[in-house]
Amino acid sequence: MIRETTDAPLLRRNSFHVDETAARLIEFDSADDLDAVFGRGRPEVWYALGGGNNILFTQRFEGTLIKPAAAGIEAIGEDADSVTIRAAAATEWDDMVAWCVDHGLWGAENLSLIPGTVGAAPVQNIGAYGAEAADIIHRVEVYDTHRREHITLGKADCRFAYRDSIFKHEFRSRTVITSVEMRLGKRPAPNLAYGDLLSHVEARGGASLRNIRDAVCTIRRGKLPDTDILGNAGSFFKNPVVDRATGERLRSEDPSCPLYPAADPAKCKLAAGWLIDRAGLKGYRSGRVGVHERQALVLVNFGGATGGEVMALARHVQSVVLDRFGVEIEPEVNIL
Ligand code: EPU
């Protein structure tokens, strides 16, 4: 079934709590409903909306927001080492992680408590604590609005990279993700190399699935603002990938500058949060928006701010970081 709303209010549909509207919102229950939505003439401008956790509306959306409504998780296959599950697009990502932990399945636990839906996860290849969605995604089922058919993409087809995938490029405004298949391990495979995760897990008594999930949840709750209380979209900026010479220059200026390996060995990844923090902007406030006081990567709406106010702050942060370090940082959040 399809539910259509015109002049749809978006305040409760985006974690930044921006009070905009969309000309049209279509919610659909099953993947087959998309034939009806796109068969009767493709909406010219449309955007697939998940939980609205990684989006900034800067104006009224003069198009159609397409939103899946079906949620649910099922095991669809099993071999000696793994279990494959399918989760419908509107399933809360963290409900899926909890399901895996409850069923003793490994691979999703480091991605606990990331806000958003399963259908949104492949788009920016969500990640945290040394893991990313691509590590467990097996296949992605989509509706191709150009060919008007349902297709299944293998993991390689999705071209996953750091906070990136085909869904941000060729398939942007072309496909709607309807469900995601994930392959989880049956044997213990703790991944505790990131930051202070190991010490948090050890303090809980060792590397069980439950302890890892609890540790990740505790670390996240300590650093990241609760979107129910303070409007935000998690990391506003991506960690910038720069050439090694730039990384080494920054490291020689300040030995505490974090440098991470990048996919290209000639490059390295910097911590945008560190750059913003060292540029003196952590906790900076401008009217109704600001840089979060505990995690400089997160821009927050203290209440009532427009998307334009958030963007003005983002541009300020970008220019201060560029002046101070000569490094450009780019938004990770989708800006509409
Ligand atoms: N740092 C600071 N000051 C800050 C923030 C960070 O000095 O205000 C330093 C930290 O001390 C650390 C480094 O920067 O040395 C990296 O910080 P952190 O471990 O908090 O991770 P991050 O790079 O800031 C990334 C993801 C997060 C994810 C965390 C944990 C991106 C853009 N962000 O943040 O993802 O939760 O790692 O793995 O890659 C999100 O995408 O919305 C998100 C929250």
What is the pLDDT confidence band of residue 165, given thresholds at 50, 70 and 90?
very high
Q: Whose CA is nearest to atom 37 of ligand 1?
A: 128
What is the pLDDT confidence band of residue 39, given thresholds at 50, 70 and 90?
confident
Question: Is the Cβ atom of 277 under 6 angstroms away from ligand 1?
Answer: yes
- Which pLDDT belongs to residue 24? 96
- Which pLDDT belongs to residue 229? 93
Over range 28-56, report the average pLDDT.
90
239 C-alpha vs ligand 1 centroid, how far in Å?
8
Over range 147-155, report the average pLDDT.
96
Task: Check: CB of residue 143 under 8 Å from CB of residue 176.
Answer: yes
Q: Whose CA is nearest to atom 6 of ligand 1?
A: 273
- Which pLDDT belongs to residue 243? 96
- Which pLDDT belongs to residue 44? 82
Query: Helices (H) and strands (E) in the chain — how many of each?
Result: 8, 20
Distance CA(190)–CA(198), nearest Å, equals: 10
- The pLDDT tens digits of the residues spanning 116-145 come to 999 999 999 999 999 999 999 999 999 999
Q: Is residue 332 flagged as an active site residue?
A: yes
- Which pLDDT belongs to residue 316? 98
- The pLDDT tens digits of the residues spanning 187-199 come to 999 999 998 999 9
% the chain with pLDDT above 90:
96
- Helices within the chain (DSSP H only): 33-39, 93-102, 121-124, 197-203, 209-223, 244-253, 272-278, 307-325
Q: Say yes or no to pLDDT of 41 above 80.
A: no
- Which pLDDT belongs to residue 267? 96
Q: What is the pairing mode between strands 267-270 and 259-261?
A: antiparallel
Over range 154-161, report the average pLDDT.
98
Q: Say yes or no to pLDDT of 219 above 90.
A: yes
- Which pLDDT belongs to residue 16? 98
**Choosing from 15, 82, 179, 235, which is the catalytic residue?**
235
**Choosing from 86, 139, 163, 278, which is the catalytic residue?**
163
DSSP secondary structure of 97-157: HHHHHHTT-BSSGGGTT--SBTTTHHHHT-EETTEEGGGTEEEEEEEETTTTEEEEEETGG
317 C-alpha vs ligand 1 centroid, how far in Å?
16
When the pLDDT of each residue in the chain is averaged and rounded to a whole number, the result is: 96
Over range 83-104, report the average pLDDT.
98
Q: Say yes or no to pLDDT of 42 above 80.
A: no
**Choosing from 27, 109, 132, 332, which is the catalytic residue?**
332
Over range 104-109, report the average pLDDT.
98
Q: Which of 274, 275, 277, 332 to mutate to test the pocket of ligand 1 (most atoms within 8 A of CB)?
A: 274
- Which pLDDT belongs to residue 150? 96
Question: Is the Cβ atom of 282 under 6 angstroms away from ligand 1?
Answer: yes
- Which pLDDT belongs to residue 7? 98
- Which pLDDT belongs to residue 246? 97
Q: Which of 125, 297, 300, 324 to mutate to test the pocket of ligand 1 (most atoms within 8 A of CB)?
A: 297
Q: Say yes or no to pLDDT of 105 above 90.
A: yes
109 C-alpha vs ligand 1 centroid, how far in Å?
18
Q: Is residue 328 flagged as an active site residue?
A: no
Over range 190-219, report the average pLDDT.
96
Question: Is the Cβ atom of 214 under 6 angstroms away from ligand 1?
Answer: no
Q: What angle do CA 216, 333, 128 make, to 5 degrees?
A: 20
Over range 276-290, report the average pLDDT.
98
Q: Whose CA is nearest to atom 33 of ligand 1?
A: 235
- Which pLDDT belongs to residue 73? 98
What is the pLDDT confidence band of residue 43, given thresholds at 50, 70 and 90?
confident
Distance CA(327)–CA(321), nearest Å, equals: 7
Distance CA(176)–CA(31), nearest Å, equals: 9
Question: Is the Cβ atom of 296 under 6 angstroms away from ligand 1?
Answer: yes
- Which pLDDT belongs to residue 27? 96
